[in-house]
């Protein structure tokens, strides 16, 4: 199990790397994170929802993802409330106080232990990921994710610290010092992550940490930017607040407050013809040739926000100037004439006008659609892949062309013209056919057709190589054996 001194220290990526290492070494690993809080989710083959990070880790382990890998998923709908997804299905919304403080969460803890046990009966080793810090004293007795779960699993547990944040000695020593003797018994070592420069310069630091904590520093991982693994949290988007550049097709993804599934744009971002950036600045939207409104966990709230901050007008102006405007999932809903919420699924607002760029109307519904899909984009013979995660039904106000057609004859989205369309399909931009279609009006350069899956496999292998080169794997295996 990989736990942290705090959030965003690199646990998810390290977990993915170890999933690949164990697979390479002939084992049948699977990832597990008891509770995840993220707006970035994925759908299993049987239509259940889990955190995208565990889907990525399962991909690294070369096994199908399943909801038992992430039995509790919290999807924030606003600053105080989250949708709770249990065993792949939403079970309602709860405030942070209700979820974390109003009960001892014994039922949830039982559910995550059962999920782990089911997984452990079929895979070995289970590579577990913790959440946030393991030394939150006011929450530890209610913890269902970190060391109580490690104790149930009998997991060899490693503390990950981000040296790039600064204060690594205080964060590591303080974290260990606040553990109980029973919790300390789970701990087998320390991993220092995101070290810049020559790791030999930290040899005395390693020794000091080992003396302070009584735990071995099993590895010092370098800060890297040349290995591309899908990120779990939108914290990583801060690195993508770029601007328009000359000589590329500039693509602006609207930076919504409750933006979900930002990994929808990873493949498009890697296209050499493209400069993709996230923004909520009207001036930067004006500089783009293509504007994409992404998914949202609170469509009505985000629709109100972009109307109030000038972004909606900037999108409308871009459309008026003949630029491409595309909506995905919540963004598709925003492009329509109106969004209705008669059942108060998202808010107390029962109806809100949309951008009015597509002749469609959305009614939000309590039932969530979650499924993987194969489809044909605008009638092309090539088969594409994607997935749906949405709580709403969108209907055309007058007949139009769909964006996608499914094998069973169902249709998705509304295609007004080559520069204005919307779809519910996450992952639609993972398909080269679709990317080429939206870039065609802006460049004569031809896209490089390649297997995105093969590319991701190469990245997992590179990550595994980096971990092997900088972590004492012999010590890791000895700890697991014990």
Instruction: Could you list the beta-strand ranges (E) of 196-261.
Output: 217-222, 249-254, 259-260
- Give the model confidence (pLDDT) of 116-144 as tens digits: 999 999 999 999 999 999 999 888 888 89
Q: What number is the average pLDDT over the span 388-397? A: 94
pLDDT greater at residue 236 or residue 376: 376
pLDDT band at 103 (very low <50, low <70, confident <90, very high): low
Positions annotated as catalytic residues are 329, 426
Q: What number is the average pLDDT over the span 174-180? A: 96
Question: Looking at the chain, how many residues does it have?
Answer: 482
pLDDT at 350: 92
Calculate the average pLDDT of the chain: 93
Residue 240 has pLDDT above 70, yes or no: no
Residue 316 has pLDDT above 80, yes or no: yes
pLDDT at 420: 97
Residue 104 has pLDDT above 90, yes or no: no
Q: What 3-state DSSP class applies to 225?
A: coil
Residue 387 has pLDDT above 90, yes or no: yes
pLDDT band at 235 (very low <50, low <70, confident <90, very high): low
Angle, CA 331 vertex, CA 423 and CA 254 arms, to 5°: 130
Within 8 A by CB and 6+ apart from 296, the residues are 256, 258, 259, 260, 302, 329, 330, 331, 334
- Give the model confidence (pLDDT) of 40-60 as tens digits: 899 999 999 999 999 999 999
Residue 450 has pLDDT above 90, yes or no: no
Q: Shortest CA distance to 210 belongs to which of 186, 182, 191? A: 191
CA dist 52 and 10 (Å) reads 15
Residue 237 has pLDDT above 70, yes or no: no
Contact predicate 355/312, CB 8 Å:
yes
Residue 453 has pLDDT above 60, yes or no: yes
Residue 325 has pLDDT above 70, yes or no: yes
State phi, psi for 290 to the nearest 5 degrees.
-125, 130
pLDDT band at 100 (very low <50, low <70, confident <90, very high): low
pLDDT at 92: 82
Domains of the chain: 2-228+458-481 (3.40.50.300), 234-446 (3.40.50.880)
Residue 204 has pLDDT above 60, yes or no: yes
CA dist 307 and 314 (Å) reads 10
Residue 366 has pLDDT above 70, yes or no: yes
**Bridge partners of 386?**
373
- Give the model confidence (pLDDT) of 261-273 as tens digits: 989 999 999 999 9
Residue 93 has pLDDT above 90, yes or no: no
pLDDT at 449: 81
């Amino acid at each position: 199990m990989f736990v942290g001194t705090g959030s965003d220290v690199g646990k998810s990526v390290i977990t993915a790397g170890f999933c690949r290492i164990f697979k390479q070494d002939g084992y049948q690993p699977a990832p597990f994170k008891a509770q995840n809080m993220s707006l970035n989710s994925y759908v299993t083959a049987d239509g259940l929802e889990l955190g995208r990070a565990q889907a990525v880790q399962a991909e690294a382990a070369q096994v199908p993802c399943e909801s038992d890998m992430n039995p509790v998923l919290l999807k924030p709908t606003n600053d105080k409330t989250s949708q709770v997804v249990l065993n792949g299905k939403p079970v309602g919304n709860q405030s942070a106080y209700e979820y974390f403080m109003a009960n001892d969460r014994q039922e949830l803890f039982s559910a995550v232990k059962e999920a782990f046990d089911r997984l452990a009966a079929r895979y070995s080793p289970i590579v577990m990921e913790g959440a946030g810090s393991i030394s939150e004293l006011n929450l530890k007795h209610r913890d269902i994710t970190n060391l109580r779960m490690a104790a149930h699993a009998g997991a060899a547990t490693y503390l990950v610290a981000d040296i790039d944040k600064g204060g690594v000695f205080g964060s590591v020593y303080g974290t260990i010092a606040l553990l109980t003797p029973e919790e300390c018994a789970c701990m087998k070592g320390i991993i220092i992550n995101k070290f810049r420069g020559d790791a030999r310069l930290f040899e005395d630091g390693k020794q000091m940490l080992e003396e302070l904590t009584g735990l071995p520093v099993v590895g010092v991982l370098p800060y890297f930017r040349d290995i591309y693994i899908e990120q779990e949290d939108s914290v990583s988007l801060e690195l993508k607040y770029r601007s328009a550049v000359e000589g590329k097709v500039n693509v602006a993804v609207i930076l919504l407050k409750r933006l979900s599934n930002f990994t929808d744009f990873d493949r498009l971002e890697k296209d050499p013809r493209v400069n993709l950036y996230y923004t909520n600045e009207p001036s930067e939207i004006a500089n783009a040739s293509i504007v994409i409104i992404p998914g949202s966990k609170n469509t009505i709230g985000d629709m109100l926000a972009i109307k109030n901050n000038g972004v909606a007008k900037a999108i409308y102006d871009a459309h008026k100037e003949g630029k491409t405007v595309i909506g995905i999932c919540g963004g598709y809903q925003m492009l329509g004439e109106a969004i209705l919420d008669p059942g108060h699924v998202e808010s107390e607002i029962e109806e809100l006008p949309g951008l009015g760029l597509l002749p469609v109307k959305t009614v939000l519904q309590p039932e969530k659609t979650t499924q993987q899909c194969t489809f044909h984009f605008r009638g092309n013979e090539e088969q594409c892949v994607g997935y749906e995660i949405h709580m709403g039904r969108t209907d055309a106000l007058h007949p139009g062309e769909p964006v996608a057609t499914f094998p069973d004859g169902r249709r998705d989205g509304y295609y007004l013209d080559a520069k204005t369309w919307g779809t519910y399909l996450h992952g639609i931009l993972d398909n080269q056919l679709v990317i080429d279609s939206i870039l065609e009006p802006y460049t004569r350069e031809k896209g490089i057709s390649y297997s995105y899956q093969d590319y991701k496999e190469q990245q997992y292998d590179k990550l595994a190589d980096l971990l092997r080169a900088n972590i004492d794997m012999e010590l890791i295996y000895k700890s697991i054996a014990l």
